Amino acid sequence: MKNPSVVIDVANLVKRYADITAVDGISFQVKEGEAFGMLGPNGAGKTTTVEIIEGLRKADSGNITVLDMDVAKVPAKVKQKIGIQLQAPSLLSLVTVQEILVLFGSFYQRSLPVEDLLEMLALKESRKVLVKNLSGGQQQRLSVAMALINEPDIAFLDEPTTGLDPQARRSLWSVIENMRNQGKTVFLTTHYMEEAEKLCDRVAVVDHGKIIAIGSPRELINEYFHESAIQFELEPTPPEVILKSFPGAKEVVISGNEVIMYSENIPVTMSAILKHAEKTDITDQLKNLHVREATLEDVFLKLTGRKIRE
């Protein structure tokens, strides 16, 4: 083993569909015990990348090594050691929670006791419920349970909380946090900034099939922002040139009525905004004015000029 701590090694991965290049030369490594996140908007190439790593799709070019095995050559061997959660639940509908776990457990050389999984994912109460009668959150927890059934060395979770209500999302977050605390390697894709910030040790921000930034959430924010953000809504929005001329203003992003100004000197910039509003007699149009720390969302905005969920 050349480097025992690297469990996923992706080098120059490319995947094309007809005239679209879904994945455009992606390279990165994931270390053992790490919670690694791929963050990006829908269609950025996250799912394609993760499914190639899992051995579900073939790459057009590039080398992928998972647990020191070549995925393209020995996909079945890799699948014994990894756990996969697909974006869609994709479950049989007329079997119970317990039955489907027993069934999927039988596909692996080693599998966790069904009891443990039910406990871990708070599915004990619904063990005898048919899959089709489960709520969205329960289905999602079940599909995470199925991804953990073989005690995988790496668990791949593809947008595990998409479409869930806030409560169900939080309960799934605590499951993932537990896995992380137990030192498991988790590979997560998401288009929720706060999810990536909260759950991941390291994040790769992807857009149009390319990694545009990689690092821990803190590193990324510190690398791109020494400033904090002032955010407000104003109609009509002042021209960008005027806003940029305000003292302390480093950068300005306007989308619709919403303005985000990144400032090195919050009090100075703030008072300039208020003065401008008074002078032009639009104080009652100024809404939702607040100051906040920069987030991954801001990093994405700065790198692409777009919001992640547009």
Binding site for other proteins (CB under 8 A): 54, 56, 76-77, 79-80, 84, 86, 88, 90-95, 99-100, 102-104, 106-109, 130, 146
Closest distance to other proteins from the beta carbon of 90 (Å): 4
Closest distance to other proteins from the beta carbon of 151 (Å): 14
Cβ-based nearer residue to other proteins, 88 or 268: 88
Cβ-based nearer residue to other proteins, 25 or 105: 105
Cβ-based nearer residue to other proteins, 104 or 187: 104
Closest distance to other proteins from the beta carbon of 76 (Å): 5
Closest distance to other proteins from the beta carbon of 255 (Å): 35
Closest distance to other proteins from the beta carbon of 268 (Å): 55
Cβ-based nearer residue to other proteins, 145 or 296: 145
Which amino acid, one-letter code, is at 111? S
Closest distance to other proteins from the beta carbon of 127 (Å): 14
Cβ-based nearer residue to other proteins, 47 or 190: 47
Tokens of residue 263, six digits: 């400032």
Cβ-based nearer residue to other proteins, 133 or 280: 133
